[in-house]
Amino acid sequence: MEIQYPISVYFEDEIIGEYSSDLIVDSKVIVEMKAIKELAEIHEVQLINYLKATKIEVGLLINFGPKIQIKRKVFTNNNKLIQLILK
């Protein structure tokens, strides 16, 4: 398990920045944690972007706000390959 794991962000095969995910479990699941009133679409987009930027296919978005919320997102490596081909 790795905490605050840096993820390089690529655009057209060039590193343009870096994300820092909250937690990566066994190099298989990205966990993004929040402590806010309610999750918004922007939080889900953030997790999907992490999945797009890595070989990891599964992500969990967990909110420890007034009511615990958990969302699971999947972005397969096949979809990543399709994106590269379409560019």
pLDDT score recorded for residue 38: 95
Provide the pLDDT confidence category of residue 83 given band limits of 50, 70 and 90: low
- Per the CB < 8 A criterion, the answer to whether 10 and 21 are in contact is no
How many CB atoms are closer than 10 A to CB 51? Answer: 22
Give the Cα separation of 13 and 40 in Å (integer): 30
3-state per-residue secondary structure call for 45-87? HHHHHHHHCCCCCEEEEEECCCCCEEEEEECCHHHHHHHHHHC
Provide the pLDDT confidence category of residue 80 given band limits of 50, 70 and 90: low
Taken in order 17, 86, 75, 36, the sign of the CA dihedral is: positive
Give the Cα separation of 84 and 87 in Å (integer): 5
Question: Residues 11-57: pLDDT tens digits?
Answer: 667 777 787 778 889 889 999 999 999 999 999 998 998 888 788 89
More confident residue, 84 or 43: 43
pLDDT score recorded for residue 84: 53
